[in-house]
Amino acid sequence: MSTSNGQWYPPEWPDRIRALTRGELQPAAPRRAATVLLVRDTTGGPTVHMLRRRASMAFAGGAYAYPGGSVDPRDERDVPWAGPSRTEWARRLGVDAATAQAIVCAAVRETFEEAGVLLAGPTPESVVADTTGADWEADRAALVTRELSFADFLDRRGLVLRSDLLGGWARWITPEFEPRRYDTWFFVAALPEGQRTRNASTEADRTVWAAPADAAAGYDRGELLMMPPTISTLRALLPYGSVAEVLAAAREADLTPVLARARLVGGEIVLSWPGHDEFTKHISSGADA
């Protein structure tokens, strides 16, 4: 693990990188995924909702992240939809319309599953004000276990997905040498008025609302563990003084995929994320993590 900051760095990576460079490792196909940076205004500026993954988790255990997860194949089913069209989202996300819908649905669904926050409303201009109570919890649990599809959930409750409440923020693809790979689209969204977050995820043991500067400082001190995409998207919030500014910036955010590269240079492994020099690591040929 890195000692200078909180960069998540699994001890098995060097051996896997060497195997990849020797042609002995077949990269796994990345699964499509979506994650959401929920933000809210405070007197001191925007704060962001983060969860800490349980240390027992096979992927990024102990690391801070945002609500999110893999696309469910059923996320491609027709859903009541408000906001930019599927075609507009396809252009923004760099995929076809069906895939765009699935990614946006996954973002909204996973935010409800893991944080109890629902970006949907009875009409295209409204949003649910309260998602607490036994009936909501029963639906949330059924979504988690995949007993209930998101399309059926919205239809049964007479709700419309509010795609206009999301803004594209970034796209990162898990390195080829990691066995669990994800092609993840990051979104930003304001916490809807009246709703509140809670730790609804079985994968997290803690949730916090943090000022981006404070969380980034904790990472820099090595106190908060984060994967490169998390700290990168967190730092991207730093220039903005309000949620409105964040959402406006999302319209122009660069969604070019970021994929780590590993090279052998004179017996040394050089691990880098193009455009993100702070994450570059140099690993000697005989070193472990």
| Per-domain boundaries in the chain | 27-256
Phi–psi pair at 166, nearest 5 degrees:
-105, 145
The pLDDT value given to residue 98: 94
Q: What pLDDT shows up at residue 240?
A: 97
- Give the Cα separation of 225 and 221 in Å (integer): 10
How confident is the model at residue 282, as a pLDDT?
80
Report the Cα 113 to chain-centroid distance in Å. Answer: 13
Residues 6+ apart with CB under 8 A from 199: 51, 115, 205, 206, 207
pLDDT by residue, tens only, the chain of 289 residues: 344 566 766 777 778 787 877 778 788 889 999 999 999 999 999 999 999 876 554 555 678 999 999 999 989 888 999 999 999 999 999 999 999 999 999 999 999 999 999 999 999 999 999 898 899 999 999 999 999 999 999 999 999 999 999 999 999 998 888 888 899 999 999 999 999 887 666 666 788 899 999 999 999 998 888 889 999 999 999 999 999 999 999 999 999 999 888 877 777 788 888 888 888 888 775 544 3
The predicted pLDDT at position 60 comes to 57
Number of other CB atoms surrounding residue 283 within 10 Å? 18
Give the per-residue pLDDT at 54.
60
| Residue 288 confidence (pLDDT) | 44
Residue reference for tokens 């009246």:
194
Instruction: Report the relative pairing of strands 45-53 and 64-65 from DSSP bridges.
Output: antiparallel
The helix, strand and coil proportions of the chain, stated in percent and rounded to the nearest 5, come to: 30, 25, 45
Q: What is the pLDDT of residue 36?
A: 97
At residue 223, the pLDDT reads 86
The torsion angle over the Cα atoms of residues 83, 84, 90 and 94, rounded to 10 degrees, is -100
User: What's the confidence (pLDDT) of residue 4?
Assistant: 56
Angle at 227 between CA 270 and CA 224, to 5 degrees: 120
CATH node for 27-256? 3.90.79.10
What's the Cα-to-Cα distance from 262 to each of 111, 167, 278, rounded to whole Å? 32, 31, 15
Query: What is the separation, in whole angstroms, between the first and last Cα of the chain?
Result: 6
Q: Helices 150-157 and 97-115 sit at what angle, rounded to 10 degrees?
A: 70
